[in-house]
Structure formats: structure tokens, C-alpha cells
């Protein structure tokens, strides 16, 4: 028998702000009991979101190096570039741009506390380009 991932845990300085950002990115539901200043805040999966949730927990130290694990985000109802623009408007930062003129590639962004994640092409974009 296998195990499942219940939580993706993220160490951070401001759990509520990070949970708010990632809720907008993923569509996960913020725990209604969480408040600004809490030591940890959760995002819960629901009927429209498969998999586990995310848990943001306050730690005293800041991020100092590249993530060892990161998330790859694939947009559902928009293009990779539209999603990257949306996330930048939410407060993400562009770290590296690996998008190519033929439509392939990805963008590396960072959340408000500097944790890197990638924005990939949507399923529709994968079906319109080779590779």
C-alpha cells in the first residue's frame, strides 16, 4: 500500500499572506479559522481540486538558497503567458524566463517570500506544439 501527500508544507515569515497568495494561485480554499498573525495557515483541497492541501508555518529564519523542491504550475483555463502575467500581478517575481519562440519552455517565478516555482504550458498549448 502507498502513502499520499496530505500537505505541502512551506516555511515562511508570514503564513497568512503566503496562504492568501497561494490560494489565488491554486484555487485551494483558505481555512476559515486562519487569521493574520497566526503561526500556521492552511489551504484545503475541495471537490474541484485534487490532492492534498498546503500548510504555511512561521519560522524565524528567512530563505537563503534555491529551493530543493519546487512546484510546477500548469494553467487550466489560460495560456502559460497569461498565467505568468496573472501571477506577477498577484505579487510573484520573475526569476528566469525559459520560454522559447516556438512556444515551448517555462517561466520561473518566485512567490512573495522568494520561493521559486515554474509556470508550464497549459494542456491546450501542449497539444498545439510538438514536444
Q: Go through 7-44 and write b for each residue having 16 or more CB atoms within 10 A of its CB, e for each that does not.
A: ebebbbebbbbbbbbbbebbebebbeebeeebebbbbe
pLDDT band at 83 (very low <50, low <70, confident <90, very high): very high
pLDDT one-digit tens code per residue, 22-76: 999 998 999 999 999 999 999 998 766 666 799 999 999 888 888 888 999 999 9
Helices (H) and strands (E) in the chain, counts: 3, 8
Order of all β-strands in the sheet with 107-110:
71-73, 116-119, 107-110, 93-97
Confidence at residue 31, expressed as pLDDT on a 0 to 100 scale: 95
Question: Fold match between 1-62 and 64-131?
Answer: yes
pLDDT exceeds cutoff 90 at 5: no
Whether pLDDT at 19 is above 50: yes
Q: Which three cell numbers stand for residue 57?
A: 508555518
Instruction: Indicate the fold that domain 64-131 takes in CATH.
Output: 2,3-Dihydroxybiphenyl 1,2-Dioxygenase; domain 1 (3.10.180)
Report the predicted TM-score, pTM, of the whole model to 2 decimal places.
0.85
Half-sphere exposure of 108 (CA within 13 A, CB side): 10
Q: What are the residue ranges spanned by the domains of the chain?
A: 1-62, 64-131
- Tell me the pairing of strands 40-44 and 53-58: antiparallel
- CATH placement of domain 1-62: 3.10.180.10
For residue 131, the model assigns a pLDDT of: 47
Amino acid at each position: 500500500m502507498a502513502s499520499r501527500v496530505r500537505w505541502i508544507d512551506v516555511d515562511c515569515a508570514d503564513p497568512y499572506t503566503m496562504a492568501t497568495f497561494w490560494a489565488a494561485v491554486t484555487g485551494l480554499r483558505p481555512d476559515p479559522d486562519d487569521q493574520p498573525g497566526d503561526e500556521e495557515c492552511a489551504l484545503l483541497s475541495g471537490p474541484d481540486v485534487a490532492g492534498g492541501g498546503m500548510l504555511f508555518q512561521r519560522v524565524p529564519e528567512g530563505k537563503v538558497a534555491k529551493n530543493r523542491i519546487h512546484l510546477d504550475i500548469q494553467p487550466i483555463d489560460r495560456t502559460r503567458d497569461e498565467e505568468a502575467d496573472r501571477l506577477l500581478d498577484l505579487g510573484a517575481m520573475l526569476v528566469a524566463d525559459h520560454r522559447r519562440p516556438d512556444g515551448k519552455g517555462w517561466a520561473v517565478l518566485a512567490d512573495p517570500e522568494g520561493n521559486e516555482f515554474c509556470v508550464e504550458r497549459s494542456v491546450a498549448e501542449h497539444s498545439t506544439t510538438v514536444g
